[in-house]
Amino acid sequence: MNTSNFYRGRRLRSSKSIRHLVRETDLLPRNLVQPFFVLESSDEKDFRPIASMPGQSQLAPAALEEEVARAVDLGLKSVILFGIPAQKNSQAGQAYAPDGIIQQAVQRLKKRFPALVVITDVCLCEYMDHGHCGIIQDQRVQNDPSLDLLAKTALSHAEAGADMVAPSDMMDGRVQAIRDLLDSRGFQELPLMSYAVKYASAYYGPFREAAQSAPSFGDRKTYQMDPGNAREALREAEADIIQGADILMVKPALPYLDIISALRNSFDLPVAAYQVSGEYSQIKAAAQLGWLDEKSVALESITAVKRAGADIIITYFAREILGWVAGNE
């Protein structure tokens, strides 16, 4: 048998050093964003573990600061914040209150960590007494009346010192409403990362416990995308680009690698992907049962998201990954 014409792929796999030399996709600290849940509490050191998300907690401001400090020491460059207010109402008043929990957290983090990129999630669900992402009338989420509240929320985050705002509500036109208000108030240079392609996914379950944001009736399928749709993702992304988005996000990540790739190939803007709570928790649960190796599966999953074309990856594994890949950047 003549073996001289074989493709010898194993030549470049023969040692760890060679494999690293020719590796096409690397995870770097600058690619990762760690989410944090900020809890309004009378005890600033309050720290409440989230049962469905092992390793994650609801954190009052002082506890948040210390958790972020430990992550920054590992090399964390960016965070995204979600608020859990003490009081909710039908107008999401605490979402845009100057002394709201997110506004306090932003000020605190930027004072201690000036170089840290602090991103704020802009949505109303955590602040509404019904758990939906907009104003309710006749048991339906009202799109246009919700835009003013979303824009006010983004502005309050900007005024508190946020480095970037990230609307996640999926109301039509919210990027335009936010961009217009920010620009009119002197925040023309503040970046906007849009949850441009957010699916009505079953993978969000643990997050809704963590953020206390489950809807009290119905679901979010009238404003979040149908998981079966791919071409619609391009329409949503293009609309947000026209309205002023600077970064496009796909959520969830791993079940939608094709969508991440489609956005990467169709648009020149940076692409973000959110490895959501269900993706995180199922890895944690299987690892706790001894069914798989947590580190290997987590790294493989995040590498797949990066390989598909994501420039920015929001993941609850960020702190652990920084420890695992320390020194690679």
pTM confidence score: 0.94
Going by their DSSP bridges, the two strands 164-167 and 193-198 should be labelled as unpaired
Confidence of residue 216 (pLDDT cuts 50, 70, 90): low
Spatial neighbors of 152 by CB under 8 A, at least 6 apart, are 95, 96, 181
By annotation, the residues acting in catalysis are 198, 251
**271 phi, psi to nearest 5 deg:** -115, 130
Question: Is residue 328's pLDDT more than 60?
Answer: no
DSSP 117-174: EEEEEE-STTTBTT--SSEEETTEEEHHHHHHHHHHHHHHHHHHT-SEEEE-S--TTH
Residue 48 CB coordination number (10 Å): 15
* Distance (Å) of CA 96 to CA 16, 140, 154, 192, 266: 51, 22, 8, 17, 35
Beta bridge partners of 134: none
Confidence of residue 217 (pLDDT cuts 50, 70, 90): low
Question: Is residue 1's pLDDT more than 70?
Answer: no
pLDDT > 90 fraction of the chain, expressed in percent and rounded: 78
Question: Is residue 41's pLDDT more than 80?
Answer: yes
Least confident window among 23-27, 34-38, 245-249: 23-27
pLDDT > 70 fraction of the chain, expressed in percent and rounded: 96
Domain boundaries, the chain: 26-324
pLDDT on residue 329: 42
Domain 26-324: which CATH number of 3.10.20.600, 3.20.20.70, 3.90.1300.10, 3.40.630.10: 3.20.20.70
Element (H, E) at 38: strand 32-39
Question: Is residue 268's pLDDT more than 90?
Answer: yes
Alpha-carbon dihedral sign for residues 300, 301, 305, 311: negative
Contact 170, 195 (CB under 8 A): yes
- Find how far residue 280's CA is from the centre of its chain: 12
pLDDT, averaged across the chain: 93
Mean pLDDT computed over 291-319: 97
Q: Quick: pLDDT tens for 120-167.
A: 999 998 898 887 878 888 888 889 999 999 999 999 999 999 999 999
Confidence of residue 91 (pLDDT cuts 50, 70, 90): confident
Question: Is residue 181's pLDDT more than 60?
Answer: yes
